[in-house]
Structure formats: C-alpha cells, structure tokens
C-alpha cells in the first residue's frame, strides 16, 4: 500500500485521520464538478481538525491519501472502475485504476490503521432483494471491519427497514447523531427508529475506545448524521424522482453494481441540480463530523 506522507506522519504521531471513499468521485458525482468537490470534502476534514485520506487503487496500487493529480485522474478517466472488496486483488494484479466503495474503503482504511471514515450514503439492501439477492457488500464488510462510518443513512432507493435489520444481524452498531431516527440521505428522517442517540463527538470517541473492553474492535459502527433541514430535498420532488428512477432502472435492465450509480445519476439529472446540492452538503457535513470524532478519539488515546 502506498500511504501518503501526510497521512503516515499523522498516523505515526497518533494525530486524527479520516478516510474518504472514491467511488463517490467517479460514479456518485457528475463531471466536471466531481474533482473540485472531492477536494472540498478533504477541506471539510481539515476544517474539523483531521488529515484526509482519500482511498483508491491507482495503477494497481492501493493509495491511502491522494494528491491533486491522482484525484483528477479518478474524476475524469473513463477507464476508472468501481471496485468493492472482492475486486481489489484483480484490479491490483492488472495494474488498473479503481475507485473504492464503502466496503473496499473501509477494508483498506482498517488495514492502514485508520478508524474513522466519512461518506455520503452507505450501501444496503436493495428493494426486491428477496428475489434478486442484491445486498451491498458494504454491510457484510462492516461485520468484520472495525471502522466507524459517518454517513447520512442510506438512500430511499434502498429498502431501509431491511438494511437496518441486516446491520443488526451482522453485529454492526448504529448511532444517531443528535437524532432518534435513521436518516434517509436526501431526507433527514427515513421513518425508522435508531434507539441509540449521541450528542457529541466525545461520546462517539468513548464508544470507539470502549470496544476494546468488550472485544468488539473488529466490528463496524455506523454514525448516522442527518442532512440539515435547510439542505433537505423537497419531499414531493424526492418521491416523484424515486418512483421514476426505479421504473427507469427496471426498464433499462440495470442490475448488479450499476444500479446505485444509475439511480444517483438519474436523481442528479432529473432534479435540475437540487439532489446534487443536497448530496454535496451532506457529505461535507459528514466529513466535518468525522474529523471531530477522529480528533476526540485521538485525544482520548493520547491521555
């Protein structure tokens, strides 16, 4: 693995580091804004007091922390592929360029010694999974990868209730940041309860530290941070786009790992920029909160 100098120095000194995924850059956000937005997410981590480590595979090598040239390549290169954990070795052997999902980012972050990770939305159980078995490897990876994923819940393109049930089965804890309700990405409330509410980054840090006392450091945790009311998507627009997007994906025969990028792109095009604005606002907020949690956790480990 190639760990960027700034990241390895911070890790060696016990300073806070936050991992960021890269599928969102190549397959989650439209060009030409994606490269600039990736840098803004890194800046949000810095503003929160941590060092950003965007993760990707470049020319067959896992990179933990990217420079501007690498970010630009991921954002604009047509040969970039979305890679989950199972594809990491193949893309590495072929010397390819791969952007990492929540699953593969969490896996590489943990391997590099990074505990806190920020993204937009977690993957989950797709609607109709009882027939298609389409469940993101994000969930199963968190069942044995001890990172905290700060996200705005999961998108309503998924089966939110089933996703929460699977997280429970897999031993992945879910914490609500200043909320009792699991967030629905574009909307602050998905309609599902969480049960465990936290108010401050310190509290999350103490939960991360307490994992060692109960031998659960190998299990993932989700910190669900709702989009702010000002940034929420209009609910009527949301419901219309959701119905139309799911119908379009069905009509176009989209399946497997193409489903999530297809629906994201549909929302961005059809909402006239509204969903993109919401998406960027929530990732920025998650990056900032993740940095505050990482800083609190680093401080607690030093003392």
Shortest Å, Cβ 179 to ligand PSU: 18
Which of residues 26, 101, 115, 275 is near ligand PSU by CB under 6 A? 101
N-to-C CA span, the chain: 30
Among 155, 232, 257, 292, the one annotated catalytic: 155
Which of residues 45, 55, 102, 187 is near ligand PSU by CB under 6 A? 102
- Is 168 marked active-site? no
Residues 123-162, interacting with ligand PSU (CB under 6 A): 123, 136-138, 155
- By CB atoms closer than 10 A (0-12, 13-18, 19+), residue 252 is exposed
Shortest Å, Cβ 256 to Mn ion: 6
What sign results for the dihedral spanned by CA atoms 99, 42, 231, 196? positive
Q: Which is nearer to ligand PSU, 49 or 262 (CB)?
A: 262
Which of residues 21, 42, 87, 134 is near Mn ion by CB under 5 A? 134
Strand partners, 54: 20
- Is 155 marked active-site? yes
3-state secondary structure the chain: CEECHHHHHHHHHCCCEEEECCHHHHHHCCCCCHHHHHHHHHHHHHHCCCEEEEEEEECCEEEECCCHHHHHHHHHCCCCEEECHHHHHHHHHHCCCEEECHHHHHHHHHHHCCCEEECCCCCCEECCHHHHCCECHHHHHHCCCCCEEEECECCCCECHHHHHHHHHHHCCEEEEECCCEEEECCEEEEEEECCCEECCHHHHHHHHHHHHHHCCCCCCEEEECCCCHHHCCCHHHHHHHHHHHHHHHHHCCCCHHHHHHHHHHHHHHHCCCHHHHHHHHHHHHHHHHHHHHHHHHHHHHHC
Choices 84-92, 128-136, 200-208, 242-250 (CB under 5 A): range interacting with Mn ion: 128-136
Shortest Å, Cβ 103 to ligand PSU: 6
Is residue 21 involved in binding ligand PSU (CB under 6 A)? yes
Is residue 3 involved in binding ligand PSU (CB under 6 A)? no
Among 21, 42, 135, 292, the one annotated catalytic: 21
Q: Which is nearer to ligand PSU, 140 or 206 (CB)?
A: 140
Shortest Å, Cβ 58 to ligand PSU: 17
Is residue 26 involved in binding ligand PSU (CB under 6 A)? no
Which of residues 64, 125, 164, 264 is near ligand PSU by CB under 6 A? 264
Cα 161 → chain centroid:
19
Q: Which is nearer to Mn ion, 15 or 126 (CB)?
A: 126
Q: Which is nearer to Mn ion, 136 or 285 (CB)?
A: 136
Choices 65-73, 116-124, 215-223, 244-252 (CB under 6 A): range interacting with ligand PSU: 116-124
Task: List residues binding Mn ion (CB under 5 A).
Answer: 134
Task: List residues binding ligand PSU (CB under 6 A).
Answer: 21, 23-24, 28, 101-103, 120-121, 123, 136-138, 155, 185, 257, 260, 264
The set of catalytic residues is 21, 155
């Amino acid at each position: 693995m190639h760990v960027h100098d700034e990241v390895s120095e911070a890790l060696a000194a016990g300073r806070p580091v936050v991992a960021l995924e890269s599928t969102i850059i190549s397959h989650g956000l439209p060009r030409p804004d994606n490269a600039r937005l990736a840098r803004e997410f890194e800046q949000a981590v810095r503003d929160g007091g941590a060092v950003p480590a965007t993760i990707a595979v470049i020319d067959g090598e896992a990179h933990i922390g990217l420079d501007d040239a690498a970010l630009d390549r991921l954002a604009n290169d047509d040969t970039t592929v979305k890679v989950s954990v199972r594809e990491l070795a193949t893309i590495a052997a072929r010397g390819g360029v791969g952007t990492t999902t929540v699953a593969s980012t969490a896996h590489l972050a943990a391997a590099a010694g990074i505990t806190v990770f920020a993204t937009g939305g977690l993957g989950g159980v797709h609607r109709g999974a009882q027939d298609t078995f389409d469940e993101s490897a994000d969930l199963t990876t968190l069942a044995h990868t001890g990172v905290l994923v700060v996200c705005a819940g999961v998108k309503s393109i998924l089966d939110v209730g089933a996703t929460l049930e699977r997280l429970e089965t897999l031993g992945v804890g879910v914490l609500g940041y200043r909320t009792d309700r699991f967030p629905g990405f574009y909307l602050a409330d998905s309609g599902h309860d969480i049960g465990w509410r936290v108010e401050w980054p310190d509290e999350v840090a103490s939960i991360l530290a307490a994992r060692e006392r109960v031998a659960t450091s190998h299990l993932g945790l989700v910190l669900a941070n709702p989009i702010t009311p000002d940034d929420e998507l209009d609910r009527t627009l949301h419901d219309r786009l959701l119905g139309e997007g799911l119908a379009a994906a069905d009509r176009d025969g989209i399946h497997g790992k193409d489903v999530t990028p297809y629906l994201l792109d549909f929302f961005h095009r059809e909402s006239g920029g509204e969903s993109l604005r919401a998406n960027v606002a929530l990732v920025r907020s998650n990056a900032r909160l993740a940095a505050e949690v990482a800083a609190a956790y680093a401080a607690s480990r030093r003392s």
